[in-house]
Amino acid sequence: VAQVLLTLPYSFSQLGMVSGILFQLFYGLLGSWTAYLISILYVEYRTRKEREKVNFRDHVIQWFEVLDGLLGKHWRNVGLAFNCTFLLFGSVIQLIACASNIYYINDHLDKRTWTYIFGACCATTVFIPSFHNYRIWSFVGLVMTTYTAWYLTIASLLHGQVEGVKHSGPAKLVLYFTGATNILYTFGGHAVTV
């Protein structure tokens, strides 16, 4: 999500300011509504299980458990297949994006080697003992994203716009929808699911 946030200016240039704001609001509402629906399903599942005297003190409820508990094993398997596919392709895209970014900074190694290096580093996260230990990384990511956003905002206010810059909209319809898709991904998996 953080990398996509940094592409928002480009996405807005593809869509135009009015259209970009409208898509931003629409996807924000859609993502919030989807997250709300998902949280209701979690609460319903937990309520049913607590009636059966299930203790969740040392257990993090997973999405596929909710599907299994409320809809049955078939939907659990569909949910697992969807999530695993989504995570697989998302992680591959993320590894390639990281390798491409580092390649621009340090081109002594080729992109494939950088992909292997990042893949090895990211694969070690499976050795983290508990889901709760990811919270610190989420917090660090949030702080870094916020810092970057404020840095870019303050730098743009201090330095202003370079003279002679021309802004142009998309030359093709596909570029317009590329900008719309980039804005969709700023809201992460909640809006994408819908």
The C-alpha atoms of residue 82 and residue 91 are separated, in whole angstroms, by: 14
Residues 76-99 pLDDT 10s: 999 889 888 877 777 777 777 777
What is the tally of structural domains in the chain?
A: 1
pLDDT of the residue at 131: 61
Average pLDDT along the chain? 80
* Domain span including residue 112: 2-193
pLDDT value for 160: 83
User: What token pair was written down for 77?
Assistant: 């398997």
Alpha-carbon span 5 to 8, nearest angstrom:
5
Question: Which pair of tokens denotes residue 61?
Answer: 């409820």
Separation in Å, CA 8 to CA 38, 42, 90, 126: 27, 32, 19, 31
pTM: 0.59
Separation CA 141–CA 31 (nearest Å)? 20
d(CA 54, CA 60): 12
Cβ(39)–Cβ(63) below 8 Å: no
Residue range 94-153, pLDDT digits in tens: 777 777 777 777 788 888 888 888 778 777 766 666 666 667 777 777 788 788 888 888
Query: Can you tell me the distance from the alpha carbon of 67 to that of 21, in angstroms, rounded to the nearest whole number?
Result: 34
Average pLDDT of the residues in 164-176: 77
* pLDDT for the residue 191: 47
